[in-house]
């Protein structure tokens, strides 16, 4: 008798796709390739020396707790610290709870698990974060995209989509939104539209928003934008934050705040998913914040990333041929480029020949759109690599256009 593993797979397994970014990364690992593809924070911002000291302190003071099984909902000291902080910013209100997950990605997966059944619908921006979409799609749902403009998701289109959904009995289980320095588009929803967004949601029973907010603290000018969570007065918003983009992704600390009932459900799901996240990295992240290191750290990151954004936008202006447009992110890590008359999937191998990489636009849609666009990350590459990489990308676009017969 023999075994054919493919005969064993579940219904959910059939929904699992290898991420497009993952497949592309094969090409971008070559040292000669300048990659704008990944979504990595700049390692130059990692506070290594401080972390060495803090790790020693943690193992001295809380060693046996740091190495033991921890609480499923996260380290209580860290949770208490974060609760106070978010209560002060209006992002945690009475009736809310806060739990720590294995990065925001685990929160996305667990919300998918507790909210989505086969055939369910959800609404997401077009384009949207593909890690979120992939986590949701595993549970057999349909992702209905709503178009954005330079101010984020368009409310006229969302209103129409909800009206239609209501009529057809296919109301979305939730709206997945990244309103601040959106990944991949780099756009931000202004306060007035946020209010409009919430008011629209309030018109429907049992409609909630998952606000994915990894970049809110990475604003390059002026003041931070108030989150949807802090503006919500009806318990309609669950907020996902993370230390990945402001301290270190390696700590894998995602932070969920939202109405107690739904957040507790996520804890039950987490219990069977991994029992608990590592206590050591939670202790370290907590102590780093508790000791007051965060303001200077954020200032450092903002300054570095602002410089890199400026450099990339300047390089785009100086090098790109006609018919290439890009968004102007006021924070975060990404900008979105649209290339007239070029299929960015076909362009990709030409770009690799020119030793530069990006993520194809189609990776951020669940409906095949995005063929004329790409995401560029500006946080990771060195300054001179940004200038050189954009030159190479411009050349690749020119070459590709010559090779493509005009329609």
Residues 149-188 that bind its own copies (CB under 8 A): 173-174
In this chain, which of 32, 88, 117, 168 binds its own copies, going by CB under 8 A?
117
Among 91, 97, 120, 212, binds its own copies (CB under 8 A): 120
Q: Which residue, 110 or 148, is less far from its own copies as judged by CB? A: 110
State the Cα angle at 135 between 132 and 137, rounded to 5°: 105
Residues 270-309 that bind its own copies (CB under 8 A): 271-281
Pairing type for strands 34-35 and 356-357 reads parallel
Taking the least distance from each CB to its own copies, the nearer of 52 and 325 is: 52
Decide: is 52 part of the binding site for its own copies (CB under 8 A): yes
Sole binder of its own copies in the list 85, 114, 159, 294 (CB under 8 A): 114
256, 85 Cβ separation under 8 angstroms: no
- Size of the residue set binding its own copies (CB under 8 A): 90
Backbone angles phi, psi at 274, to 5 degrees: -160, 15
Of the residues 55, 93, 231, 298, which one makes contact with its own copies according to CB under 8 A: 55
Nearer to its own copies, 4 or 322 (CB): 4
Question: Minimum distance from CB of 53 to its own copies (Å)?
Answer: 9
Does 131 bind its own copies (CB under 8 A)? Our answer is yes
213 binds its own copies (CB under 8 A): no
Which tokens is 375 given? 């995401």
CA angle 344, 348, 351 (to 5 degrees): 120
Structure tokens at 397: 């676009």
Q: Rule CB under 8 A: is residue 48 a binding residue for its own copies?
A: yes
Query: Measured from the CB atom, is 262 or 366 closer to its own copies?
Result: 262
Kindly tell me which of 210 and 313 has the beta carbon lying closer to its own copies: 210
Closest C-alpha among 148, 154, 147, 257 to residue 197: 154
Residue span binding its own copies (CB under 8 A) among the ranges 54-62, 157-165, 298-306, 389-397? 54-62
Q: Which tokens belong to 331? A: 């924070």
Minimum CB separation of residue 192 from its own copies in Å reads 21
The piece of 5-13, 91-99, 217-225, 367-375 that touches its own copies (CB under 8 A) is 5-13
Binder to its own copies among 79, 236, 375, 392 (CB under 8 A)?
236
**Contact range with its own copies by CB under 8 A, out of 101-109, 212-220, 385-393, 396-404:** 101-109
- Whole-number minimum distance, CB 405 to its own copies, in Å? 38
Site for its own copies contains 256 (CB under 8 A): no
């Amino acid at each position: 008798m023999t075994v054919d593993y493919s005969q064993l797979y579940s219904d959910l397994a059939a929904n699992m796709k290898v991420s497009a970014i993952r497949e592309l990364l094969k090409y971008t690992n070559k040292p000669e390739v300048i990659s704008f593809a990944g979504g990595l924070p700049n390692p130059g911002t990692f506070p290594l020396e401080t972390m060495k000291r803090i790790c020693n302190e943690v193992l001295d003071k809380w060693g046996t707790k740091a190495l033991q099984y921890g609480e499923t909902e996260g380290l209580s000291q860290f949770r208490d610290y974060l609760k106070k902080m978010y209560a002060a910013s209006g992002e945690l209100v009475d009736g809310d709870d806060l739990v720590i997950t294995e990065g925001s990605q685990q929160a996305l997966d667990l919300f998918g698990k507790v909210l989505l059944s086969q055939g369910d619908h959800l609404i997401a921006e077009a384009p949207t974060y593909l890690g979120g979409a992939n986590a949701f799609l595993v549970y057999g749902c349909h992702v209905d995209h709503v178009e954005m403009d330079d101010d984020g998701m368009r409310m006229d289109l969302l209103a129409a989509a909800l009206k239609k959904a209501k009529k057809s009995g296919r109301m979305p289980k939730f709206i997945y939104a990244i309103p601040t320095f959106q990944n991949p588009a780099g756009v931000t929803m202004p306060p007035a539209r946020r209010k409009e967004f919430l008011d629209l949601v309030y018109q429907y029973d049992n409609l909630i928003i998952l606000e994915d907010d990894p970049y809110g603290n990475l604003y390059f000018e002026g003041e931070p934008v108030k989150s949807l969570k802090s503006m919500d007065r009806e318990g309609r918003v669950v907020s996902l934050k993370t230390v990945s983009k402001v301290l270190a992704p390696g700590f894998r600390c995602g932070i969920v705040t939202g109405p107690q009932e739904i957040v507790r459900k996520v804890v039950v799901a987490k219990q069977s998913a991994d029992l608990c996240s590592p206590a050591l990295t939670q202790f370290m992240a907590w102590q780093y914040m508790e000791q007051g290191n965060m303001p200077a750290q954020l200032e450092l990151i903002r300054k570095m990333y602002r410089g890199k954004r400026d450099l990339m936008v300047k390089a785009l202006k100086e090098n790109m041929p006609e018919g290439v447009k890009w968004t102007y992110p006021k924070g975060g890590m990404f900008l979105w480029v649209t290339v007239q008359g070029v299929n960015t999937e076909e362009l990709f191998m030409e770009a690799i020949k020119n030793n530069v990489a990006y993520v194809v636009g189609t990776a951020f849609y669940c409906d095949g759109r995005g063929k004329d666009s790409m995401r560029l990350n500006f946080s990771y590459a060195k300054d001179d690599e940004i200038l050189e990489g954009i030159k190479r990308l411009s050349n690749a676009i020119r070459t590709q256009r010559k090779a493509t017969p005009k329609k």
